[in-house]
Structure 1
């Protein structure tokens, strides 16, 4: 099994080494809808602006590899309890490695599908009465992407897509975090 994996990895690396690579910068913005659950009960539901930047390479016109960062406005919520109002704040940054496959190049329009893996760095704050608890962590994150790219010029294209990010939280009481993100971006080709 290890031998087969080594052959596949070597084959992928040798194909990438021979590929024609077009570097690009990816700027994006959008809107996130986030759902955080604790013990199967909704803890926080929020939405707001999201923004990001990435660098990537287009390989032989069919594939793209990209490293990017996504940030978003902090989420705030208040939950009434018998002791008073609990104030919750959650802030996260995502650092991702994404791979895309481009299909159906018709008249300058490209359909794409992609997947990614990365890390979400988060901070949370919970306040009740005069007590405040601050936590932070890093969690493994997976993503799926789909969208359309339209060429605006030889070096610039516009990207309309949707992404789903799943943060695998490693806490006993906190379930996973799901983010649904419709977005728009620009690819600026550097070649």
Structure 2
């Protein structure tokens, strides 16, 4: 039996209440947190447990998803990804991805992105994916280029973090570009 949610290195799954410890530990790496979105004050164990429990109970939309990236063998949470800005009329969506610092450079992000795009393109009938990446996040810029995303635009000085302004790069990939590279 084969699951569309299982790749070579990872499986995508719903969050479970017990995942709170892994995600709270990822917050200890400030540079990685900044690369994903923005730095927040530390949260208590009670708040982290509540967050995971609430997400575990949340009803999932078929197109606006939030998924844990877990190791294929062992089911260890290594990150999370979500879709957002879903436009069913035009068939476009954006996504975000974050991998915990201890799990960087192991191929988890690339495997997870391919699984998500395969689902959105071939199961949900979308025709284009987009991702915004901060200019200071060189590993993510390299990942998107390596996966075959096309750089479509740049918003200059659109984010402030760690005492500096970053540009944001917009990357896009159509279903045809995905199929050519990853089908």
**Same fold at TM > 0.5:** no
Larger radius of gyration, structure 1 or 2? 1
Question: Greater share of strand residues, 1 or 2?
Answer: 1
> What band does the TM-score fall into relative to the shorter chain?
0.3 to 0.5
